[in-house]
Amino acid sequence: MTAARPLAGLRIADFTWIGAGAFATKIFSDLGADVIKIESRARIDQLRQARPFRDGVPGLNRSGYFADRNSSKRSVTLNLNHPRARELARKLISMSDIVANNFTPGVMEKFGLGYADVVQFKPEIVYLAMSMQGQSGPESRYLGFGLTMGALTGLHNLCGNPDRNPIGTGTNFPDHVPCPTHAAFATLAALRHRRRTGRGQMIDLAQIEPTIALLGPAVLQFTANGQVAQRTGNEREGRAPHGVYPCAGEDRWIAIAASGSAQWQGLLHVFDDDTLAADPRFATDAARWTNREALDQALARLTAHRDGARLMRDLQSAGVPAGMVQHADDLLRHDPQLAHREHWSWLDHPEMGRSVYSALPFRFSASDTAPTSPAPLIGQHTDEVCHDLLGLSSEEIAGLRASGALD
Amino acid sequence: MEHAVLQPNTLAEPLPSGTPGALAGLRVIDMTRSCLQYCGKLFAQLGADVLLVEPVDGCDTRHQGPFLDDVPHAERSLAFGYFNQGKRGIAIDLASTEGRQLLRELARDADLLIESESPGTMTRHGLDHDSLSALNPKLVTVSITPFGQTGPYRDYVAEDIVALALGGLLHMAGDPDAAPVAACGNQAYLAGAQFGAVAAMSALLQVESGGSGQQLDVSIQECVSMALENAAQYVDLEGFVRSRNGSRQRQAGSGLFRCADGMVYLMADGIASTRSWDATVQWLIDEDTPEAQTLRDPVWKLPPFLASDEGKQRFETIFLAFSTRRTKAALYAEGQRRRIPICPLNTTADLQVNRQLGHRGFFQETLHPYTGRRIAVPGAPYLLTETPWRMGQPAPRLGEHTSAVLSELGHDQRVQAVWLRAGVIA
């Protein structure tokens, strides 16, 4: 690990909060950008109040949900209802490459920090606005969270068994992958354009749209073929076996997806079961697909008494795609691959102590990308930024603090 | 379900000539398979020149459904068409010496190579990053594989459901009394495609600022683990292992509820606050919902009660008496008017008539490459004011641009004919 971090030298005036926005700017901060999170005690980032907390004890600086999304950032408190705070925000923006927010349209404008305001004093800014439904339109002011967006986009309805209610992904999925990655990609592309032309621009990302983009084939099933896509549980068209099978122990499962004769022979070799091997219902890919229910039942009987980890290793050795269903404790404490890749970063937080953060899910051959510092305490860097970056004296900072601008 | 005749919202308009894409001038070689091809599509639709390199018998995405009119055919895969919109296509046999030499020639002039071969395969072909960067030191290679280039699982084989299992997301989805259920639509591999694009774009910026190219090693398993929300931190901080909740309320007032014509998702409890609770209760009272007054009892502010079966059951009984007499559209409109986070559970058909998506012109038409049929597809996932997203040309037919690209490399058509006959190209 040698070269500078890929985004070193960039600065973001980061007005994002809660889930999707903060995860988008974490990509930048872990990659070396100076991300200055602008918060306020008058309007707390709700994620700071979200479980889990260190030792279960609530506190603004104790949330693991908040911490993981805000690694490598600095925190400044500015009460934007205060005119002096808005002045500082403008000054900070004028020293930044990117402004990011995920408010409902109108909020940044209310503070005089909308795109139209910012280009007046910082024309080359790259301005990322990631509201739920976009900057204009009849439902642009509607609000929601990742889970309600999962419902609105069609994702939630497509996940689950056909004979049961839909179950989605069990998480606020759009917040975690589609929105942060699309926001980061568009912002990086806009930075390239600025580097080549000197011109900034605004990115209007409606959080529901990347998730719909990821459902493309299901959408086309309707727009091209007139069929409304339905839930299929763990079944995938034309593939058998393809599913989740029980293993020994409480709530332990293994995912197996074998296709083609080589993988099927590998599977037979591992299970070493004469009945399965001789059954004409399972002799070819087409036969296995036609008789998939019987095949699933037969496989479930064979997996039910086996240890999931051992069975996974055996199937993988035989070239069969198989993976034990891991929960978070498995991932954190027992997964040898994630340990090898140092996916989990353990950082010493002033109030939470040594605690766990996700590294970005890739490794650069010549740049370090692991998180550099734990999540900031609320307002931890207010004085530092006011002094070092904005050039204010200690007296001026004290005056601002007394006025309430730095709440 | 009513099948509304599709009213396309907009037809992709050609860009005014001279409008540059944000990624204009970038040359990308896309050797990926399956829906990992979404990575290259992100580049193509912001203006990069993306060349899809397929085996001579076509990439596996061509064999993935759904198929146009349900007719299985390598040129009718809607998935292939969708994930490769805006790219050019060339077919090369990389098992042949000449084919590998052609790839080296392409890499010499490229900015980015995206690949998803099993770890070690590119090295065996002499096409690994170190070999290619000897020809082109500024080349960025992004390798997207199930578990990454090194480590005990590097040779493990996967499918989307396997990556979801080992990445931890599968455990979190499903009803508690049944097996976990995988997310629809290859979300694990798509996560790999998305994070791969972010990594590549970061490294390209570094190169264009004077840095060297490098190899980026993306693990799909790790990409999936980014979606675990707060589950890892729950283990670390509170010693609690999150499991699946299925279609039950997460806590009283937050979850999926039946209505007159489907279901709605309500989050009366928000995230870590109860700000929408009072507004929700007021709504139910205003509409004369039986027992709604009882929801004002202070017990409904206590997290343990909200998390209890009793709390969930009582809320559901009261809310269903209200919601089942109203449509999802009515609940959405009035709930949102009251600033309550409530949304309809939409189908893919509902999306086509969604007025907000219509306002944004989200769905746009393109031509199906093989049949010429007009099809509406999801369009811009972001609107850029200076460098607009573009639909780009329909996905390439197999080998559609092989001859044009080889001519650009300076190989005359008689040599191309020899390679075609020998199976080096298609």
Closest CA to B187 of A372, A67, A236: A236
Q: Which of residues 190-219 of A touch B (CB under 8 A)?
A: 190-193, 195, 197, 199-206, 208-210, 212-219
Q: Among A222-226, B274-278, B390-394, which stretch is predicted with the lowest mean pLDDT?
A: B274-278
| B185/A3 Cβ within 8 A | no
Give me the residue label for tokens 């927010």. A101
**Rounded-to-integer distance, Cα A253 and Cα A388, Å:** 54
**Rounded-to-integer distance, Cα A275 and Cα A257, Å:** 20
| A329/B241 Cβ within 8 A | yes
Residue-wise pLDDT for B28-86, tens only, equals 999 999 999 999 999 999 999 999 999 999 999 999 999 999 999 999 999 999 999 99
* Residue B87 near residue B51 (C-beta atoms within 8 A): yes
Confidence band of B275 (pLDDT split at 50, 70, 90)? confident
Secondary structure string (H, E, C) spanning A8-64: CCCEEEECCCCCHHHHHHHHHHHCCCEEEEEEECCECCHHHHCCCEHHHCCCCCCEH
Q: Which residues of B touch A216 (CB under 8 A)?
A: 79, 82-83, 377-378
Q: What is the pTM of this model?
A: 0.97
Is B373 an interface residue toward A (CB < 8 Å)? yes
- In chain A, the residue whose alpha carbon lies closest to the alpha carbon of B21 is A193
The verdict on whether A175 is a catalytic residue reads yes
Minimal C-alpha gap between A204 and chain B (Å): 5
Closest CA to B66 of B83, B49, B53: B83
User: Which pair of structure tokens corresponds to residue B272?
Assistant: 């870590």
Residue to substitute from B123, B155, B156, B236, interface A, most A β-carbons within 10 A: B236
Q: Which pLDDT value is given to residue B14?
A: 44
pLDDT of residue B8 exceeding 70, the answer is: no
The β-bridge partners of A323 are: A255
Is B231 an interface residue toward A (CB < 8 Å)? yes
| A184/B346 Cβ within 8 A | no
Q: Which pLDDT value is given to residue B270?
A: 72
- Which residues lie below 8 Å from residue B223, measured CB to CB, with a gap of 6+? A177, A361, B167, B188, B191, B192, B194, B195
- Which residues lie below 8 Å from residue B395, measured CB to CB, with a gap of 6+? B52, B80, B81, B82, B83, B84, B85, B87, B89, B369
User: Which pair of structure tokens corresponds to residue A355?
Assistant: 């605690």
Rg (CA), chain B: 26
pLDDT of residue A361 exceeding 90, the answer is: yes
Q: Which pLDDT value is given to residue A138?
A: 97
| A331/B270 Cβ within 8 A | no
- The CA-atom distances, in angstroms, between B418 and each of B52, B104, B406 are 22, 19, 13
Residue-wise pLDDT for A216-272, tens only, equals 999 999 999 999 999 999 999 999 999 999 999 999 999 999 999 999 999 999 999
pLDDT of residue B186 exceeding 70, the answer is: yes
- The CA-atom distances, in angstroms, between B414 and each of B95, B411, B422 are 22, 8, 13
- Pairing between strand A344-349 and B342-344? unpaired
| A215/B228 Cβ within 8 A | no
- Which residues lie below 8 Å from residue A13, measured CB to CB, with a gap of 6+? A36, A38, A89, A92, A93, A96, A98, A99, A100
pLDDT of residue A134 exceeding 90, the answer is: yes
* Residue B265 near residue A148 (C-beta atoms within 8 A): yes
Name the residue among A159, A182, A341 with its Cβ closest to that of B181: A159
Is A393 an interface residue toward B (CB < 8 Å)? no
Confidence band of B274 (pLDDT split at 50, 70, 90)? low
**Rounded-to-integer distance, Cα A28 and Cα B318, Å:** 45
Confidence band of B369 (pLDDT split at 50, 70, 90)? confident
Minimal C-alpha gap between A274 and chain B (Å): 26
Burial A316-341 (b: 16+ CB within 10 A, else e): bebbbbbbbbbbbbbbbeebebbeeb
Return the SS3 of B30: strand
Name the residue among A190, A220, A341 with its Cβ closest to that of B82: A220
Which of these is catalytic: A14, A175, A204, A296?
A: A175
Q: Which residues of B touch A186 (CB under 8 A)?
A: 46, 382, 384
**Rounded-to-integer distance, Cα B177 and Cα B408, Å:** 60
- Which residues lie below 8 Å from residue A269, measured CB to CB, with a gap of 6+? A318
Q: Which of residues 251-270 of A touch B (CB under 8 A)?
A: 251, 253-257
Is B42 an interface residue toward A (CB < 8 Å)? yes
User: Which pair of structure tokens corresponds to residue B25?
Assistant: 């001038």
Please provide the average confidence, as pLDDT, over all residues in chain B. Answer: 94
